[in-house]
């Protein structure tokens, strides 16, 4: 059932006090950051201790930026960091009221995580995925609680971006949706409801634009610099599409385009061969220090 904007069910997320997060990458540690600042106890899990250490360091630096901008105080930072517990095992989620999966954008990996995660959770624990494109219905079916499962797609970088897309699978209970919607408000974010179609709203619109920018480069219409400058100044975008692709991660961009292409069976969503080539080369953007720009020097330099 689709709920119209003027008849949204009332939710109460006050029973959610502990939030678990699977994956300590850019999205995972961003979600941990906003939950901890909002007063929630956070359990952050990753397979690698190194990833967890990097995540806590990144959270500290991002909290410092918020202090500089006058958004939080030093005491707020100390309290937030004190609310975050890290682990490499799922047992830490035994007392979690909500667990958000924020692993790599790969359906097989996500299903494996959900299958291992469910047995350690309380029966009443809510589950969510931060997937940016994959079917919530299919992911929910891989759990023991599809009625308490839904999509919570945070935007990157999480501490700065105000939107969270909320996606219900076919089995998601209205009480689950209402509770998570209320929680999003408590995090200081704005929820937008999206139907369970490939890539939802933001990426359904954004990624084809990025893919078209890559085609524009591939076909020699413009250079990296000219394409990004044209869109920044001509469309008033804060970041050019190729610079944005590097920020998102070219592997993530490709994965979303593949979901769109496979799920909607329309040739307009075919990933650009140049995007495929960059990913095959391991040029994934900022996280590998090379994508459409080279980030190894003091200033990013276009690679084409």
Catalytic residues: 132, 153, 165, 203
Q: How far is CA 113 from CA 102, 106, 182, 190, in A?
A: 10, 11, 26, 28
Instruction: For residues 169 and 180, give the distance between their C-alpha atoms in angstroms, rounded to a whole number.
Output: 14
Burial class (CB in 10 A: 0-12, 13-18, 19+), 107: middle
State the virtual CA torsion across 180, 60, 284, 242 in degrees, nearest 10.
Answer: 80
The gap from C-alpha 269 to its chain's centroid, in whole angstroms, comes to 21
- Say how far apart CA 23 and CA 27 lie, in whole Å: 8
Please report the sign of the dihedral spanned by the C-alpha atoms of residue 214, residue 24, residue 56, residue 100: positive
Q: Which residues pair with 165 in a beta bridge?
A: 153, 192
Q: Could you tell me how many helices (H) and strands (E) the chain has, helices first?
A: 11, 10
């Amino acid at each position: 059932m689709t709920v119209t904007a003027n008849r949204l069910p009332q939710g109460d997320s006050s029973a959610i006090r502990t939030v678990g997060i699977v994956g300590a990458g850019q999205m995972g540690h961003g979600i941990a950051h906003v939950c901890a600042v909002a007063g929630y106890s956070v359990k952050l899990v990753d397979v690698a201790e190194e990833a967890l250490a990097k995540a806590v360091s990144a959270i500290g630096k991002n909290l410092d930026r918020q202090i500089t901008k006058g958004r939080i105080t030093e005491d707020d930072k100390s309290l937030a960091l004190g609310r975050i517990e890290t682990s490499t095992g799922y047992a830490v989620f035994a007392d979690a009221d909500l667990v958000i999966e924020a692993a790599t954008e790969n359906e097989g990996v996500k299903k494996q995580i959900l299958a291992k995660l469910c047995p350690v959770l309380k029966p009443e624990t809510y589950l969510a995925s931060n997937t940016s494109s994959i079917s919530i219905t299919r992911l929910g079916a891989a759990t023991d609680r599809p009625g308490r499962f839904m999509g919570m797609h945070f935007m990157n970088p999480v501490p700065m971006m105000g939107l969270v897309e909320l996606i219900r699978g076919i089995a998601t209970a209205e009480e689950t949706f209402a509770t998570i919607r209320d929680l999003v408000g408590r995090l200081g974010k704005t929820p937008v409801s999206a139907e369970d179609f490939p890539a939802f709203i933001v990426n359904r619109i954004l990624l084809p634009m990025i893919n078209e920018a890559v085609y524009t480069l591939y076909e020699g219409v413009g250079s990296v610099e000219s394409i990004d400058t044209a869109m920044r100044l001509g469309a008033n975008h804060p970041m050019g599409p190729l610079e944005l692709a590097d920020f998102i991660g070219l592997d993530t961009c490709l994965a979303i385009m593949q979901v769109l292409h496979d799920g909607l069976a329309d040739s307009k969503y075919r990933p650009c061969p140049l995007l495929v080539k960059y990913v095959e080369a391991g040029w994934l953007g900022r996280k590998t220090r090379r994508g459409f720009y080279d980030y190894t020097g003091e200033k990013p330099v276009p690679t084409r």
